[in-house]
Amino acid sequence: MPVDLGSSATTTVTATAYSALRAHLGLPAGKPRTLSLTAGSILPDPDILELFRVDPRGVKPGGGSGPPAEVRVEGDYEVFRNEWGIGFRRPRDGGLYFDQAVHPLEGRSRDFIRDYPFPRGDDPARVRGLRDECRALRDGGHPVVMGQSFGTGILHGGTALFGFEDYFCRMMLEPEVVDEVSERLLEGKIAFWDAALKEAGGLIDVVTEADDLGTQRGPFIGLEDYRRRIKPFQRRLFSFIKSRAPGVKILFHSCGAVADFIPDLIDIGVDALNPVQVGAWGMDPASLKRRYGRDICFWGGGVDTQRVLPRGSPREVKEDVRRRLPVLLDGGGYVFAAVHNIQADVPPANVVALFEAVDEFR
């Protein structure tokens, strides 16, 4: 059973939980690299990965996620804008995450939207050092996972630029505007993956893309709207990636209740689904394995990170892992990871218990 921690920005640990974990284990602070400033997630140090016998390794080339953000203080918040002009803010008093606060295309005219400058996906800085990093991991015997490093998905890229209300209203009333923005997002992503796979395609085993399609209790978007407005762009993106690197596998991240989308994801070339949010509506692992286990790998779902991992005892964490693994492993096609990232409120003893249970199962 392959075990993952930190190969992507949605299978890792937040900086707060990571610092507490290292202190609990009696380890020095370490030098983790940031994977997502907004989510507070990091790329763990090699000593932790070796300790927990983690298999795949994630790569984060210089500049992959755009130029470093300049965080500044405005009143009660820390704020920054990313290279897309999307504004984020985090409460200074106890804030853990940056939330979207400014949507640059919200309420704008079609001419403004058409002329709005998007970042370049093929900027050479985005793949600087990628080949050497992949080679070093391969030489160490590890599968290499290349995370999404240019913007977000088609749906979430659109909602981030427009804001949720404006985006979904335009999807109904001005679908051509939404499609134009999706086309530009796709062009940038194709340019990025073209550069990345030319640089190190033969050294990358898995690439990740993300587009949250589900909420806790149901889909973010109707299935027919997804098939009209989002799926065609995803199909073209995934087809391009596999045309450039035929041996690479596509790991697709989508939180929430996404069971109804899985046949469509399989149809457009997704090889593995993360995070398998077991607490969301319709995401029972046994049902998912029975319906789709022959056609897609499940990557995650190994422990409930919403309730058990932060609030349970170490014994309860182990029981949750032992209960889920036989189901998710049935017939193969499974990579162990938690449901999304290990969050700031998870006691370090529970993280240790999590990986002890995995080792016992192995």
Residue 169 maps to a domain: no
Helix (H, G, I), strand (E, B) or coil at 310: helix
Q: pLDDT value at position 67?
A: 64
The C-alpha angle 11, 67, 88, rounded to 5 degrees, equals 70
- Residue-range definition of the domain harbouring residue 210: 13-67+118-152+183-361
pLDDT tens sequence across 281-314: 999 999 999 999 999 999 999 999 999 999 999 9
The helix or strand, by DSSP H or E, that contains position 91, with its residue range, turns out to be strand 87-91
For residue 63, pLDDT beyond 80: no
Residue 292 maps to a domain: yes
Give the CATH number, domain containing residue 144.
3.20.20.210
CB within 8 Å of 4: residues ≥ 6 apart: 11, 54, 55, 56, 145, 299, 335, 336, 337
For residue 64, pLDDT beyond 60: no
Q: pLDDT value at position 353?
A: 98
**What pTM does this model have?**
0.95
Residue 175 maps to a domain: no
Q: Which amino acid is at 48?
A: I
For residue 65, pLDDT beyond 80: no
Residue 44 maps to a domain: yes
Q: How many domains does the chain have?
A: 1
Residue 103 maps to a domain: no
For residue 61, pLDDT beyond 80: no
Residue 243 maps to a domain: yes
Higher pLDDT, 70 or 170: 170
| Among candidate residues 337, 343, 327, the one with its CA nearest the CA of residue 272 | 337
Q: What is the mean pLDDT of the chain?
A: 95
pLDDT tens sequence across 262-289: 999 999 999 999 999 999 999 999 999 9
Backbone angles phi, psi at 334, to 5 degrees: -145, 140
Residue 75 maps to a domain: no
Residue 173 maps to a domain: no
For residue 66, pLDDT beyond 90: no
| Among candidate residues 239, 251, 171, the one with its CA nearest the CA of residue 205 | 251
